[in-house]
């Protein structure tokens, strides 16, 4: 339904370090990049960051977050560890979220610009 999502970031180099590390366990590539823009996805750009002086202010009460699907729970764990090691902050350790569904395994982090990011696996693997 949605072709891609783009977010504004203040410091592209910091964003790059975070998203390059966090996306690797999810098997996402960076098929597009310029001096002011980074594009991530499997085969094409589905999520991108763009340098701007006016990114959307973080607001935990807004409900805004971005969820990346993956195929294994180990990938969710690895995403979480890589994100925290590269400027992310904890917003929910990896684990089952049975209130979301019987096999909903996810981890939640906050990226360096304050965006809430989730990695999710819906299988028992």
Interval 19-36: pLDDT, tens: 999 999 999 999 999 999
pTM of the model: 0.93
Q: What is the pLDDT of residues 33-79, one digit of tens each?
A: 999 999 999 989 999 999 999 998 888 899 999 999 999 999 999 99
Q: How far apart (Å, rounded) are the C-alpha atoms in residues 116 and 66?
A: 6
Closest CA to 58 of 121, 10, 123, 1: 10
End-to-end CA distance of the chain: 27
DSSP, collapsed to helix, strand or coil, labels residue 85 as helix
Q: In which band, very low, low, confident or very high, does the pLDDT at 125 lie, cut at 50, 70 and 90?
A: low
In order of their start, the domains of the chain are: 5-53+65-121 (3.10.180.10)
- For residues 76-95, give the mean pLDDT: 98
Strand partners, 109: 90, 117
The per-residue pLDDT for 102 is 93
pLDDT number for residue 43: 87
């Amino acid at each position: 339904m949605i072709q891609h999502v783009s977010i504004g970031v203040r410091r592209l180099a910091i964003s790059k370090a975070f998203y390059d590390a966090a996306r690797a366990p999810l098997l996402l590539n960076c098929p597009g990049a310029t001096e002011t823009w980074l594009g991530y996805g499997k085969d094409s750009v589905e999520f991108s960051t763009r340098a701007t002086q006016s990114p959307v202010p973080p607001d935990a009460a807004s409900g805004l977050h971005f969820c990346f699907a993956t195929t294994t729970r180990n990938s969710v764990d690895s995403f979480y560890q890589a994100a925290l090691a590269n400027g992310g902050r904890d917003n929910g350790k990896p684990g089952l979220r049975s209130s979301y569904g019987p096999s909903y395994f996810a981890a939640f982090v906050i990226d360096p610009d304050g965006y809430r990011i989730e990695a999710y696996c819906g299988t028992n693997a």
